[in-house]
C-alpha cells in the first residue's frame, strides 16, 4: 500500500487514481466529522462538497503529510458554514433504519452530539462509521493515545447520558 504523502502528491499532479484513493481512505472519516454537526440527510452532500474543495485547494497544501488534519478542518468548516445557512429544524425524523430503531438511533445521535467536542467526532467515527482506533488516529491526525483516551472517556459519558449501566457500579455496590 502506497504511503499517504505519495498519494497526495500524485493527486496534486492530477492523478485520478490517487484522487480516488484519497476518497476511499477518507470519506468515512469526513462523513463522521460532518455528522457530528449536521443532519444525517445533509451529510452525504457535504462529503461531496468537502472533496470538491479538496480538489480545488490541494495545490495549496504545503505538506502532503498534513493531509489528514487538513481535510478534517475543511470538513468541520463546511459543516459550520452549512449550519449557519440553515433554519433551525427538528432533525430526528430523517435517520435511516427501521421506525422502531429510529428513536433509539436518534437518542444516541443526540447524546453523541451533546458530548464535549473533543469526544464527539472520535465517538461518531467509532460508533457510526465503524472505524477502529488506529484508523481514527491515522485519518484525523490524532495520536493513538489521544484516540484511546477520547474513546474511553467519551464512552463513559455516553453511557451516563443514556443511563446505561456498565456493570462497574453493580460490582462496587456488591463489594460495599
Q: Kindly state whether residue 174 falls inside one of the protein's structural domains.
A: no
In a domain? residue 31: yes
And the C-alpha cell for 69?
A: 488534519
Question: How many angstroms separate the CA atoms of 115 and 155, rounded?
Answer: 10
pLDDT attached to residue 168: 54
> Distance of CA 112 to CAs 82, 117, 131, 150, Å?
19, 9, 16, 12
Question: Which range of residues forms the domain containing residue 81?
Answer: 4-166
Given this model, what pLDDT does residue 102 score? Answer: 64
Residue 34 lies in a domain: yes
- Tell me if 136 is assigned to some domain: yes
Task: Please determine, for residue 6, whether its predicted confidence score (pLDDT) is greater than 90.
Answer: yes
* Per-residue model confidence as pLDDT tens digits over 8-31: 999 999 999 999 999 999 999 999
Work out the average pLDDT over 60-69.
93
Q: What is the CATH number of the domain that holds 34?
A: 1.10.1740.10
Within a domain: 157? yes
Report yes or no on 176 lying in a domain. Answer: no
* Model pLDDT for residues 84-104, shown as the tens digit of each residue: 887 665 544 455 555 556 677
Cell numbers found for residue 130 = 465503524
Number of domains in the chain: 1
In three-state secondary structure terms, 91 is: coil
Residue, of 169 and 146, whose pLDDT is higher: 146
Does any domain span residue 53? Answer: yes
Residue 21, in any domain of the structure: yes
Confidence at residue 96, expressed as pLDDT on a 0 to 100 scale:
55
pLDDT of res. 89 = 55
Amino acid at each position: 500500500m502506497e504511503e499517504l504523502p505519495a498519494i497526495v502528491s500524485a493527486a496534486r499532479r492530477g492523478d485520478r487514481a490517487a484522487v480516488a484513493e484519497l476518497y476511499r481512505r477518507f470519506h468515512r472519516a469526513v462523513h463522521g466529522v460532518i455528522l457530528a454537526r449536521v443532519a444525517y440527510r445533509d451529510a452525504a452532500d457535504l462529503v461531496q462538497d468537502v472533496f470538491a474543495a479538496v480538489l480545488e485547494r490541494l495545490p495549496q497544501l504545503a505538506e502532503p503529510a498534513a493531509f489528514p488534519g487538513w481535510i478534517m478542518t475543511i470538513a468541520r468548516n463546511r459543516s459550520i458554514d452549512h449550519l449557519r445557512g440553515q433554519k433551525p429544524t427538528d432533525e430526528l425524523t430523517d435517520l435511516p433504519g427501521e421506525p422502531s430503531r429510529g428513536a433509539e438511533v436518534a437518542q444516541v445521535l443526540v447524546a453523541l452530539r451533546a458530548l464535549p467536542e473533543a469526544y464527539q467526532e472520535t465517538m461518531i467515527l467509532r460508533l457510526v462509521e465503524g472505524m477502529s482506533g488506529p484508523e481514527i488516529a491515522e485519518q484525523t491526525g490524532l495520536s493513538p493515545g489521544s484516540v484511546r483516551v477520547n474513546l474511553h472517556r467519551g464512552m463513559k459519558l455516553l453511557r451516563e447520558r443514556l443511563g446505561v449501566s456498565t456493570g462497574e457500579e453493580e460490582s462496587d455496590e456488591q463489594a460495599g
